[in-house]
Chain A
Amino acid sequence: EAQVTQNPRYLITVTGKKLTVTCSQNMNHEYMSWYRQDPGLGLRQIYYSMNVEVTDKGDVPEGYKVSRKEKRNFPLILESPSPNQTSLYFCASKSGRDRGPGELFFGEGSRLTVL
């Protein structure tokens, strides 16, 4: 089954404690992306990656890091989480060869709370 898998699905942590949200896709997609969803703001892109070792900032990259060492994985790293990073996070992927209106496949979301 084609899917994007995120872990953990839920996490409560404290300010300053480094954490990583993993994302893995099994569709051999080149393009992967992280979004955060906040009430009244919709989804905003944090980082994206066009392929292995190619990453770039989205609209709200501050406080986040990413890496793309393998095609299937795109972890989101919060080096020193702060309460304003409490949010619902989505990982998504798409075929890079698709130049049309290809579907962006989303993971199930990770609810992060920073105390």
Chain B
Amino acid sequence: AQTVTQSQPEMSVQEAETVTLSCTYDTSESDYYLFWYKQPPSRQMILVIRQEAYKQQNATENRFSVNFQKAAKSFSLKISDSQLGDAAMYFCAYRSAWGNTPLVFGKGTRLSVIA
């Protein structure tokens, strides 16, 4: 079974600075998708960014980018120019590309942004 590991339960960053959240995963599959979800205090799950494993180019969405290292099974999230609104729980998630398989989540990293 696939597993997703987020080794940093909590992180903090100064406003306007850059922070990187770590995520590693374990799978024997070659085709899959990876996601980062944000959960602010409102509890809503918000998709931040997604990556297809067959694409070598790292995904980018405005201030959010990933460093996808397929051989190392690593999928870190970089947040640039951090803002107070970025404070949230962040979840890394994995899904197989075969069929409608479930999202497998990591345990989350709580990010605090310091003004």
B44 at interface, CB cutoff 8 A: yes
Interface residues of B in 69-113 (CB under 8 A from A): 91, 95, 97, 100, 102-103, 105-108
Choose from A41, A101, A109 the contact partner of B52 (Cβ within 8 Å). Answer: A101
Are B52 and A94 interface neighbours, CB within 8 A?
A: no
Residues of B within 8 A of A (CB): 4, 9, 33, 35, 42-45, 47, 50-52, 91, 95, 97, 100, 102-103, 105-108
Are A100 and B91 interface neighbours, CB within 8 A?
A: no
Are A42 and B44 interface neighbours, CB within 8 A?
A: no
A42 in contact with B105 given A101-B52, A108-B44 (CB within 8 Å): yes
Q: Which residues of B contact A42 (CB under 8 A)?
A: 4, 91, 105-108
Q: Tell me the bound Cα distance from A10 to B106 in angstroms.
A: 25
Sampled A-B contacts (23; CB under 8 Å): A30-B100, A35-B105, A40-B9, A41-B107, A42-B4, A42-B91, A42-B106, A42-B108, A43-B91, A43-B105, A45-B102, A45-B103, A48-B100, A48-B102, A50-B100, A58-B102, A59-B102, A94-B100, A96-B100, A99-B97, A100-B33, A101-B50, A109-B43
Q: Tell me the bound Cα distance from A48 to B107 in angstroms.
A: 20
Chain A interface bracket (under 10, 10 to 19, 20 to 34, 35 or more): 20 to 34
Residues of A within 8 A of B (CB): 30-31, 33, 35, 40-45, 48, 50, 58-59, 88, 90, 92, 94, 96, 99-101, 103-104, 106, 108-109
Q: Which residues of A contact B44 (CB under 8 A)?
A: 106, 108-109
Identity of the chain A residue whose Cβ is nearest the Cβ of B102 in the assembled complex: A45
Q: Tell me the bound Cα distance from A100 to B4 in angstroms.
A: 20
5 residue pairs, one from A and one from B, having the closest CB atoms: A101-B33, A106-B45, A42-B105, A42-B107, A43-B105
Q: Which residues of B contact A59 (CB under 8 A)?
A: 102
Q: Which residues of B contact A33 (CB under 8 A)?
A: 102
Choose from B35, B106, B107 the contact partner of A101 (Cβ within 8 Å). Answer: B35
Are A40 and B102 interface neighbours, CB within 8 A?
A: no
Closest CB in chain B relative to A25 CB, distance in Å = 14
